[in-house]
Amino acid sequence: MRDRVSATQRTGTDTLPYRESEDVDISVTSAEVQNRSDLVENEYDSSDDELYSGFENTLRKHSFQDPSSSDIALSLFERGLGSGRTLLPNHSTDDLEEQAIAQLNNINHDWIRRSDPRRLTPSEKLRSIFWRGLDFLSSPLLTRSLKCAITYFLASLVVFWPPLSQMIGSGDAKHLAATATVYFHASRSIGSMIEAAMFAEIALLYSASLSIVSMLTARLFDELDLIIVGHAIVLIVFCAGGLGSIAFLKQKMKLATFNTACSLASVAFASVLIHEGSIQRGDVSLSKIIQVSVIVNSGIVIAACVCILCFPYTAIAKQKETSNKTMKIYATQLSVMTQNFIAGTTIASEEFDILLRSSQSHLNSLDAHLHDSKYEHYVRGTVEEYYIQARLVESIQQLSQHIGGLKSSHAMRLRLMQGGNGYRKASCAELFDVFVHYLGLHMSTLVQILQNTLEMVPYKGGRLESPVRVDPNVKETLVLARQAFDNQRMSTLQQMYAMDVFRSSIESNNEAISVFVEEIASICGQFSYGLLNFTDGLLHVITVIEEYDVYLKAGRPRSWSWMKFWDVPRSDGRPSTSDGAVTVPQELSRLFSDDSSDLKFAKPTAPVPVGLRLWRALRIFRRNDVKFGIKVGLGAMIFTTPAFLSATRDIFNHYRGEWGLISFVIVMNISIGGTLGAAFYRILGTVIGAFSAYMAWQVFPANNIALPIVGFLIAFICFHIILSGRPNTVFGRFILLTFNLTALYSYTISRGNEHEDDDEGGLHPMIGEIAIHRLIAVVSGVLWGVIVTFYVWPNSARAELKRRLGIVWIRLGLIWKSDPLSKIPMLRDSIGPSQDVGLREEQNLSKSLLKLRELVAEAAKEFRLKGPYPIKQFNVILSVTEEILDAYHNVNTMILRTSKSPELNTDIIRYTELERKELGNRIFLFFYLLSSALRLSLPLPDNLPNTEHARKRMIAKVNEFRLEQVGNAPVGNEEEFVLFYSFILATLSINEGLLKIIAAQQQIYGTVEDEALSI
């Protein structure tokens, strides 16, 4: 036994090579595949007889094999490992780039695995340094930072190169070209740049419209001798309304490219509203608007050209590359989990944790790359190909949910083996070993075929024109392998049901034994059924690949019909990429009560009070994004008011108040924590940027050769910070923006008119005073943003986190309280899945959990006298909540699958109705108590509702149902119980998860202050 387990563990470990880099590369060598083959072939030979010595008589008595399925499985296994043509992937790389990466990985692994680096020979040290240097110089982060620095350097030539500067014309806003390249950096994919440029043009058009209408309004009231009224209208309608609407849309869209466009719109509008002066005078002047538009567009054009011409990459290629990497990660995860399930060993390791994080990162990247690739397909005229790729990405992502189900089954197996007394552990090991004896070889065979298939699909490489990899034998092989495994799985489970331990548990009416054997049956059945679900998911992936191949063989027909904006765009087949608000199901409150009579929830006949109707009509103003837009608009109006008062206008302009307004709009965040985090780094970045500009000017005063080179070096460092992916990367952006406002602005006015900007030195810029002015303006805008955030509709991330998490728990409890299994008869009667609250809620709750992760990060930035915010505990709570939601997904998947089966007997569903209802009520009560304690910031009481007893009674009821079916035939029909495998595992996961949440919540609120209970 020990030899077999250690061999499995070694194989599981060997399949996990990784690199600690931005993308985890999962590489499998031919030797490792041979090791896997040897393991599977040797795992069940005669030398393993001592493994089963404890229950040799049981095996001899109940030994059974289906010859047909066994022959099919072994035949497929030989095809998969022996042919080397169809199923065995070609592990030799296809191009020099992949060979270099593979060689680099091997060198890195050799270096890491050496216990004592000092024993390296000089040649080995030199080789290691060389490859590490090559790895650094070829890293994507370095090349992306270099692209952005080149873009910034070229845009700064609008200021420093006289012919180009004269072409733009006179004015002190030429530094906005470099500013535009900071926001619209060139390291994007081509699709992302297309989207960013589109949003930028919309933003410029919007800001120009606000500026022109503001001028016309001021001019109209000036002619009426009511200039003060005109200024008030401009402040209220266009300043507050315009900037407030920008803030609202920024929160509504939640797109990085749209956020940068909003910042650009704020910069352009503020420059005209305050600095240009036409609105204050009541004049209409389009020169400033045109000049700002031309300068900003020049920066965008430079960024787009560098993006396309210098180290270009497409989102389509990145999506294909990421899809291939994701499938390879799936292959490794599937192999490791199956091997450890067979051996009964844990998969918890640092390597596997890295693999899980890499898998989640790749899944998130797939969404981003797919979103950006849409614009590339629009330009290329291959929109139809985008729809096919969208379906392919969706099918690939769905495989991760099946991986989660297998991981849950494996975790439950370990839990049963580790719990209980010695007799229970021995019995548990015996039952699992019987299951492995009958089905282990077939599981290994199926997983090997799945693994080989995963490593081949979906694309032949990760380039723009890489076609899909299609092998006509793969799908046929998978179908036959699935059939063989399913037949043997049915036979194996029937043999388990026919064992003496199952029959004795039924006949003895011992609830503890009945629960025990049913839990084991559910784990074995669910894991084996999970492999079938994964196979079905992979077959769906291959079906989409075949559709894609048909499209490519048709010559990739092109069409630009999307430009016909007057036609209604198609909506089918296109995934939703927006983070829409989580909607509340209609009449969700019905689930709070068992009394669902029409009389209780009938529409009241009494008229609704006017106040209540008004309160409902004003519901939109209670939304956080709407309140955020309103308070940003009000804050901007108040901050800008001194620019329209004659007594304060000069000093406001002297200290460049427009950049204070811009800083206020940019630093504002919907939560207190988000604003505080951005405020600190905005001020720190401004100080560093102003100091850098001051020192550069002192060393190279008005030098149009040295200053752009210094700017290039600073830009490279700043973009390296921005693109590093670490928290608070905007810190680098603030440094670079302040450098623009100081050094580039100073050079601009030094080449301007004699009386232009003479308050800051004119032709002889006072660089120190300019830097101080920028610092004062930015700090004042940031501090004003902090004040508005704290005192105008404050939205604490900590309070919002508790509110949203509490509601998520309530809705999770309501899903279970609704008894999803009771909906199967309605689904079979064509009522449809929309009747099931659980099926409707799953996607909404997944979106909510993503937002909760953001709130945890923002909550940690809020000021707290009680000490550091318990981020670790809240992350544990969110992770457990996600695991519970995964368990819900498994149940929902089984409901949809089994409801379509005409052979399903729903008697067991009706037989266990009362027990399920009791369990659902207890789980809902548990979630309700957790939510209440969280909202009140109080610890949980000692005596909590016991879900374990209710769960065991339900499992015993399932076992009792078997008792009624005892006869000449084997006990029960596996298809009748397969749904309950998922259901029982879900209850196990929920029970374990609730205990973990309680432990974490007790750590957070274990100590009660006296004032918490004061009245």
CA atoms within 13 A on the CB side of 8: 23
407 Cβ contact list (under 8 Å, min separation 6): 337, 347
Measuring CA to CA, how many Å separate 784 from each of 7, 257, 266, 637? Answer: 64, 26, 16, 12
Listed in order, the ranges of the chain carrying CATH 1.20.58 are 797-1008
Q: What is the mean pLDDT of the chain?
A: 78
Whether the Cβ atoms of residue 384 and residue 201 lie closer than 8 Å to each other: no
pLDDT category, 372, cuts 50, 70, 90?
very high
Per-residue pLDDT, 360: 84
Most confident of 151-160, 410-419, 528-537, 832-841: 151-160
- Tell me if the domain spanning 797-1008 has CATH number 1.20.58: yes
Element (H, E) at 951: helix 947-964
Helices 657-667 + 672-699 axis angle, to 10: 140
Per-residue pLDDT, 423: 58
Report the alpha-carbon distance of residue 24 to residue 353 in Å, rounded.
Answer: 12
Size of the chain, expressed as the number of residues it contains: 1015
pLDDT category, 434, cuts 50, 70, 90?
confident
pLDDT in tens, 142-158: 889 999 999 999 999 99
Mean pLDDT, to the nearest integer, of 492-520?
A: 70
pLDDT at 755 over 60: no
Per-residue pLDDT, 667: 92
Structure tokens at 698: 């002192």
CB atoms within 10 A of CB 794: 13
546 Cβ contact list (under 8 Å, min separation 6): 470, 475
Whether the Cβ atoms of residue 435 and residue 496 lie closer than 8 Å to each other: yes
pLDDT in tens, 955-964: 888 877 776 6
854 Cβ contact list (under 8 Å, min separation 6): none
**3-class SS string, 319-359:** HHHHHHHHHHHHHHHHHHHHHHHHHCCCCCCHHHHHHHHHH
pLDDT in tens, 612-631: 889 888 888 889 999 999 99
pLDDT at 113 over 50: no
Whether the Cβ atoms of residue 389 and residue 397 lie closer than 8 Å to each other: no
pLDDT in tens, 299-357: 999 999 999 999 899 999 999 999 999 999 999 999 999 999 988 888 877 778 888 88
**3-class SS string, 760-809:** HCCCCCCHHHHHHHHHHHHHHHHHHHHHHHHHCCCCCHHHHHHHHHHHHH
CB atoms within 10 A of CB 293: 18
Structure tokens at 160: 């420093």
Report the alpha-carbon distance of residue 98 to residue 122 in Å, rounded.
Answer: 28
73 φ, ψ (degrees, to nearest 5): -65, -45
Whether the Cβ atoms of residue 295 and residue 158 lie closer than 8 Å to each other: yes
In this structure, what is the dihedral angle of CA atoms 667, 673, 677, 679, given to the nearest 10 degrees? 40
Per-residue pLDDT, 749: 86
pLDDT category, 78, cuts 50, 70, 90?
very low
Amino acid type, 394: E
pLDDT at 54 over 50: no
pLDDT at 778 over 60: yes
Q: What b-and-e string marks burial along 344-364, b requiring 16 or more CB atoms within 10 Å of the CB?
A: bbebeeebbeebbebbebbbe
pLDDT in tens, 670-699: 999 889 988 999 999 999 999 999 999 999
pLDDT category, 265, cuts 50, 70, 90?
very high
pLDDT category, 212, cuts 50, 70, 90?
very high
Whether the Cβ atoms of residue 341 and residue 525 lie closer than 8 Å to each other: no
pLDDT at 893 over 80: no
Per-residue pLDDT, 973: 52
Whether the Cβ atoms of residue 659 and residue 176 lie closer than 8 Å to each other: no
CA 17, 23, 26 angle in degrees (round to 5)?
A: 30
pLDDT category, 510, cuts 50, 70, 90?
low
Per-residue pLDDT, 72: 43
CB atoms within 10 A of CB 791: 9
pLDDT at 3 over 70: no
Q: Tell me the helix, strand and coil percentages in the chain, rounded to 5.
A: 75, 0, 25
23 Cβ contact list (under 8 Å, min separation 6): 325, 358, 361, 362
Structure tokens at 844: 């909404």
Lowest mean pLDDT among 87-101, 782-796, 864-878: 87-101
Mean pLDDT, to the nearest integer, of 264-293?
A: 89
The distance of Cα 263 from the centroid of its chain, to the nearest Å, equals: 24
Report the alpha-carbon distance of residue 912 to residue 909 in Å, rounded.
Answer: 6
Whether the Cβ atoms of residue 966 and residue 898 lie closer than 8 Å to each other: no
pLDDT at 100 over 70: no
Amino acid type, 1008: V
Q: Spell out the alpha helix ranges (H) of 641-766.
A: 649-654, 657-667, 672-699, 706-722, 730-739, 745-750
